[in-house]
Amino acid sequence: MPTVISHAAIPLALGLGLGDARIPRPLLLTGIATSMLPDADVILMRFGATYDSIWSHRGFSHSIALALLVAAAALLLRRVARPPTAFAFVFIATVSHGLLDMLTNGGHGVAIFWPLSDQRYFFDWRPIQVAPLVTNHFVSRLASRAGALAWTEGLWIWLPAAIVAMALRTVRKGGAAQ
């Protein structure tokens, strides 16, 4: 997995690029939170879920199905944004988590198609350095790999996100000027 903070790059890029009129601040904050939500699955490991279980890390919580359920719950934000906008934005933010994890170079893969399949997948191209799971040795493992993590996440997540945000903003501002 990329570090949990880097999962926020996708909703941030979309929200900042599309602007407050389309993605109001409460919806943006919801998207940021739901982009990180799948990693809450590590809590289940404290209750006995083994790493290779569908109920553990990168299992059901990283699936398209869960992203659809979370997006459906975002329809409750109808006072904040139009329902189709809220649904689409939260779905993209949530599903992006599993897709980014599929670009990492370690772990057991992602059960992206759960409940249709328990099989775990990676993309063929995996340029992102995997971050350590939250464990008793998390801080020391993170510190020892901080440089590699920062480099790969900066290059393969934050830089493309910034480019997308700027491109969307340019299109939005150009469309308003006409």
What are the extents of the domains in the chain? Answer: 4-168
Give the pair of three-digit tokens for residue 42: 């590590």
Q: Among 43-47, 54-58, 145-149, 168-172, which is the least confidently predicted range?
A: 145-149
Task: Give the tens place of pLDDT for each residue, 44-57.
Answer: 888 888 888 999 99
**pLDDT interval class at 174 (50, 70, 90):** confident
Q: What would the 3-class secondary structure string for the chain be? A: CCCHHHHHHHHHHHHHHHCCCCCCHHHHHHHHHHHHHHHHHHHHHCCCCCCCCCCCCCCHHHCHHHHHHHHHHHHHHCCCCCHHHHHHHHHHHHHHHHHHHCCECCCCCECCCCCCCCCCECCCCCCECCCCCCCCCHHHHHHHHHHHHHHHHHHHHHHHHHHHHHHHHHHHHHHHHC
Task: Give the tens place of pLDDT for each residue, 21-47.
Answer: 999 999 999 999 999 999 999 888 888
- The pTM of the full predicted model, rounded to 2 decimals, is 0.90
What pLDDT is stored for residue 131 in this prediction? 83
Shortest CA distance to 169 belongs to which of 36, 42, 18? 18
Contact 58, 107 (CB under 8 A): yes
Cβ neighbour number for residue 139 with a 10 Å cutoff: 11
